[in-house]
Amino acid sequence: MLSFLLIILLTTSVSLIVVYSWNPLPVKEDVNLFQPGTQPGEAGVFTSPDYCSACHGGYDKDVEPAANWKGSMMAQAARDPLWLTAVTVSLQDSIYTTGNPNAGDICVKCHSPSGWLEERSDPVNMEQLTGMDYEGVHCDFCHRLVDPIGASTERDQEILGNHTLFDGSPYLTDGVPTNYGTGELPDYIENGGGQFFVDPESIPRGPRGSTLAAHDTITSIYHSEDICGVCHDVSNPVLASLLIAPDAPETQAASSYYHVERTYSEFILSTFAEGAETRIPGVEIASSCQDCHMPGVEGKSSILGTPIYEELALHSFAGGNTWISGILASADPGYEGYDEYNHEILSGEKYSGASIQISGLENRGESITAVSEKATELLQNAATIEVVESSKDEIVLIIHNNAGHKLTSGFPEGRRMFLNVKYIDEDGALLDEVNPYSPLETRLESGNEVYLSGGKLDTTHDELVWEVKMSSIELTGEETTFHMALSTDRYKDNRIPPRGFDTDGMYVRLVQPRWVGEDAPGYFTEEEYAGGFDKITLTPPVDTIDTQITLYYQTTSKEFIEFLRDEVNGDNPTLPQEAYVAQTDPFFQDLKGWGDAIWDLWLHNDGAKPVEMTTSRVQFDVAAPEPEQEPEPQPEPEPEPEPEPETGGDGIPGYPIEAIFLGLILFALFGLIPHFKGE
């Protein structure tokens, strides 16, 4: 499929460079990309979020939809520098394996849905995107989505009836999804992987119907339950076609192929989907994604005459990404935490071929920070540590997963949760440290290490780092890889399951535990699957009297950031050198600077400093020294008898008669003296 073109460049010396010539196949003609649902050009024109904000904002920033959405990562989905760097690598990888960059189409589809639907995502280097396309997942897109299962209106039935499945058969049969309750995935509906169905007219849908003068709203239960699965159950159709049916469209549901993420599937397989009790403060019953990520608050949804709701869904969409939100907030010149250097990087001033729509961040710093704080709070409530046994020989802990999905979840590359354990002796000296993390000492010294590595006794515990490590044996030969677009399996997946995890369904939805490239269903016990926890045992070194335990969450790792930098720049190649075209191909003109940019952002912004989720401590008393034995007490000698008092005849006992007479004489004598002085 690929051909090579040898180009000889004459500079100061003659060098031979191998460059791919590839086929710029239009996205619409690429059969490997086809997914059911609304296609580009079929959704009409979208309304700007600014138009929605006129009524749904400006009255209470703590609860109003507009201010909270503007601060969310949903609104910044197309401005996320980490995503832009990762997608640059994916486009390059797609060229290497398929002869065109179109595998990146699915990335743009969920990060800029209006740009994709309005036919500005082809070519997939995003050079055609306009201002509103950078508003990410915005109001008019979400509220025009049609329920792919339970369409309750004639209009929605008609919209679904105009669509087909992978094989061209009708999406609906007698008003019901054709594949519902059949096939290998009986509960699967064409809803994941960006397979969305959109009303071609701007007729909003929501959990509450409304007939306000501004616009009518169709009541939609979809907008309070399953809507999140559209972009949070993602598979890679290009890979599926490469490995299973080259040059042919998919023949089975997307969720049956290797995935990018399965957050929605993890939720569906838990008891949370049935309304299980949670430990999340303020949430008594969780039966939807929104219960935690859009918690109910008291307030009104519009500046108009809407009622005050007790459970108004907060449009903050707080998740686990705190590092990038902090960077984006700091790029707002009007924000008190403004960072000129971050602004210089993100605006493209520092690195040519690396910029976001920086103007879109103006006046959003405060809102982004507020949502970031909510995300931190959510992370701090997502897990608890319970000490169930403790002795100087062994400490048994339970790490409770309080979330409705695996912990961690979402975008897998570089994201991790890890347990840091410090063993301290009676003098306060560190005996050993499990999974130590060294922060950046300065923002300027690139040589400072930020790492997870062995402690003094080399006691790194991989099982105490909860994460996904992907593999690509079939395409790249890599046992572990960061090549998301080329990943075909999971090498490691020890993430803690949610409560009540369905151990049968986990195989169907490809979310079973994996360890060293093999299925590991016994990694967790039946008790752990049921309770949603990981039970672990620590062995303190001799002389430990204080064990300090901290659970951390990190948005991404230094290892991943280095990978992105090197893959974009063509350094430290993990693929054949001819795969690295980002620095030479004009297609990457506006993307080739992201390798250096993301590394500089890492160095300048505390290296994605981990969030402290929860802590615990086990202390033992220092053994007191044995007291010295006191000598046995000796018996006290008997006291000598007191002498009998002397008496002088009839005198006072103890005083002789002569002394008594002398005292009387002196008393008489001195008692007269005043009278003599007075004469």
Q: Tell me the mean pLDDT in the region 459-472.
A: 85
Q: For 241-253, how does the pLDDT look when each residue is reduced to its tens digit (9 = 90+)?
A: 566 555 555 555 6
Asked whether residue 134 carries a pLDDT value surpassing 60, the answer given is yes
Please give the distance of CA 465 from its chain centroid, rounded to a whole number: 14
Q: For 206-237, how does the pLDDT look when each residue is reduced to its tens digit (9 = 90+)?
A: 888 776 657 788 888 888 878 998 899 888 76
What average pLDDT does the structure give for the chain? 82
| Helix pair angle (323-330, 81-98), 10° resolution | 120
Q: For 534-561, how does the pLDDT look when each residue is reduced to its tens digit (9 = 90+)?
A: 999 999 999 999 999 999 999 999 899 9
Asked whether residue 306 carries a pLDDT value surpassing 80, the answer given is no
pLDDT at 460: 55
Q: Tell me the mean pLDDT in the region 441-450.
A: 39
Q: How far is residue 10 from each of residues 15, 151, 263, 320, 581, measured CA to CA in Å?
A: 7, 63, 51, 49, 18
Asked whether residue 676 carries a pLDDT value surpassing 60, the answer given is no
Q: Give the angle 281-284-285 at the CA atoms, nearest 5°.
A: 130
Counting every residue written for the chain, the total comes to 679
pLDDT at 276: 67
**Rounded Cα–Cα distance for residues 116 and 642 (Å):** 117
The answer, yes or no, to whether the previous bond of 123 is cis (omega within 30 of 0) is yes
**Rounded Cα–Cα distance for residues 592 and 92 (Å):** 10
pLDDT at 575: 93
pLDDT at 551: 97
Q: Output phi, psi for 298, to 5 deg.
A: -85, 125
Q: For 270-283, how does the pLDDT look when each residue is reduced to its tens digit (9 = 90+)?
A: 998 887 666 556 66
Q: For 628-667, how does the pLDDT look when each residue is reduced to its tens digit (9 = 90+)?
A: 666 666 666 666 665 555 444 444 444 454 544 455 444 4
Q: For 180-197, how does the pLDDT look when each residue is reduced to its tens digit (9 = 90+)?
A: 555 444 445 557 778 899
Q: For 6-33, how does the pLDDT look when each residue is reduced to its tens digit (9 = 90+)?
A: 222 222 223 333 345 788 888 888 877 7
Asked whether residue 390 carries a pLDDT value surpassing 90, the answer given is yes
Closest CA to 304 of 32, 59, 524, 473: 59
Asked whether residue 475 carries a pLDDT value surpassing 80, the answer given is yes
pLDDT at 442: 40
Q: For 40-58, how does the pLDDT look when each residue is reduced to its tens digit (9 = 90+)?
A: 999 999 999 999 999 999 9
Read off the DSSP letter of residue 635: P
Q: Tell me the mean pLDDT in the region 418-444.
A: 82
Give the number of other Cβ atoms within 10 Å of residue 586's Cβ: 8
Q: Which of 90-99, 255-264, 567-576, 651-660 is predicted with the least confidence, judged by mean pLDDT?
A: 651-660
Which positions ≥6 away from 358 have C-beta within 8 Å?
331, 343, 346, 347, 348
Q: Which of 244-248, 446-450, 586-590 is predicted with the least confidence, judged by mean pLDDT?
A: 446-450
Residue 453's pLDDT band (boundaries 50, 70, 90)?
very low
Structure tokens at 632: 């046995």
pLDDT at 232: 92
